Amino acid sequence: MEVTGITIGGAPVSVGDRVVYPNGGICKVKGIETKQIAGAAYTMLMLTREEDNATVMVPESKVGSIGLRKVATADAIVVLFQFLSHSSTDPELDWKIRHRENFDLMSAGGLLDTAQVLKGLHALAQIRPLPQKEREMYDSARHQLVGEIAAALNLPPAVAENNIDYALTPPPGSGRTAPKDAPLDMKALRRSAVGKRSTTLGDLGDVEGEGEDIGLEGEDEEKEEEEKEEGAVEGGEEEEEGAPPKAAAKPAPKPKAPKKPKAEDKVVPAPAAAPVKAVVAPVASPPPPKAEEPAPPPKVVAAPPPPPPTKVVEPPPPAKGVAAPAPKAPEPVKAPPAKAAPEKATTKAAPEKAKPAAKAKPAPKPKAASKPAPAKKIKTAPKAKPAAKKGGRS
């Protein structure tokens, strides 16, 4: 029986189909029901989670947006293992970036997204133990993958998990213990995965997120740049030794020097390998413009001299009141710098704001701090008292 009106990735959903609910696991389609909620009628896609027989109701309008998709095909699983068994993952060490990326990937719920989380955290775990939250995410990602691989290939979950670990932790005699493969082209992988499962998974590729592709590429680019920077630095040193005059001529532009050779280096390796590096090559081409771009940006940064306006606010000189007026100054400064251009025009306003400062001036004469901070400084006062007490004690 075909479920009327609901499609996933362009393919109609039938009762009994197995679908993947992001972060939820494999579910079986039970049918459609209309539910009255808060007086409104909603058409719900009824699912049963295979793991625990929990019932999941998905509003028809949300089927596409939550990332619901059909179980991956066997071909997509092959691509998945190709990704998992590749040894080029460098874990993201910044926990904020890592957590955000992993969270987004898990929410998207794509097959390769989940695999990317698992692989990244597994690589990180080889360096240091994972924090509790990430350990849970690692386990969740592994659970999702095991379930989907088992469902896609009709294997027992234990066998699916063994295969994941054959890929992540190659057994001794497998011959796959190479220290580091060439960088992996995630975009090409995703394309092939999406293409191979397009017959059953439709627009899964859309669900997986183009933004993530971009992020991945960015990471790859960064890594490549870093690697090549290292190489370039070494090369630069050699150049310095070999050609001292150039080094003397460009002492400061050293960082620029390595960037230019990058483009050359990238062009050289590209022709070596056919498909993967060919895809890498276009990635390599953009950097040169980047190398040129960075030069102007500093000028731009210098151009919008918002900092000078902050100096204009130098009325902190009336800082005879010492520390108290100084901290106050930066706060009002932030607003004016945007309109900093009309400096003299704003000066009229400035004195208005400066007036309180002027009031502060007379204040310090009697006993500086008390006047500028009417109510707030009352709070600070008690802090001073304990300090005095401490001093007394000491």
Contact residues: other proteins, CB under 8 A: 51, 77-78, 81, 85, 122, 125-126, 129, 132, 135-136, 138-139, 142-143, 146, 149, 153, 155-167, 169, 171-172, 174
Name the minimum Å distance from CB 99 to other proteins: 17
The answer to whether the CB of 196 falls within 8 A of the CB of 255 is no
How does 215-232 read in b/e, with b if 16+ C-beta sit within 10 Å?
bbbebbbeebbeebbeeb
Name the minimum Å distance from CB 212 to other proteins: 23
Residues 257 and 244: their CA atoms lie apart, in Å, by 14
Q: What spatial distance separates the first Cα and last Cα of the chain, rounded to whole Å?
A: 85
Name the minimum Å distance from CB 290 to other proteins: 37
Radius of gyration of the chain (CA): 31
Nearer to other proteins, 18 or 328 (CB): 18
Name the minimum Å distance from CB 161 to other proteins: 6
Give residues with Cβ within 8 angstroms of 189, minimum separation 6.
79, 82, 83, 112
Percent helix / strand / coil, the chain, rounded to 5: 60, 10, 30
Residues 360 and 353: their CA atoms lie apart, in Å, by 12
Nearer to other proteins, 44 or 146 (CB): 146
Nearer to other proteins, 35 or 176 (CB): 176
Nearer to other proteins, 153 or 233 (CB): 153
Nearer to other proteins, 173 or 366 (CB): 173
Name the residue among 149, 89, 76, 93 with its Cα closest to residue 119.
89
The answer to whether the CB of 228 falls within 8 A of the CB of 265 is yes
Name the minimum Å distance from CB 80 to other proteins: 8
Nearer to other proteins, 98 or 277 (CB): 98
Name the minimum Å distance from CB 157 to other proteins: 4
Nearer to other proteins, 24 or 372 (CB): 24
Nearer to other proteins, 29 or 72 (CB): 72
Name the residue among 219, 203, 221, 298 with its Cα closest to residue 262.
221
Name the minimum Å distance from CB 110 to other proteins: 18
For 207, the token pair is 């669900």
Residue 376 amino acid letter: K
Name the minimum Å distance from CB 129 to other proteins: 7
Give residues with Cβ within 8 angstroms of 312, minimum separation 6.
340, 343, 350
Name the minimum Å distance from CB 162 to other proteins: 6
Nearer to other proteins, 52 or 241 (CB): 52
Residues 273 and 275: their CA atoms lie apart, in Å, by 6
Give residues with Cβ within 8 angstroms of 355, minimum separation 6.
none
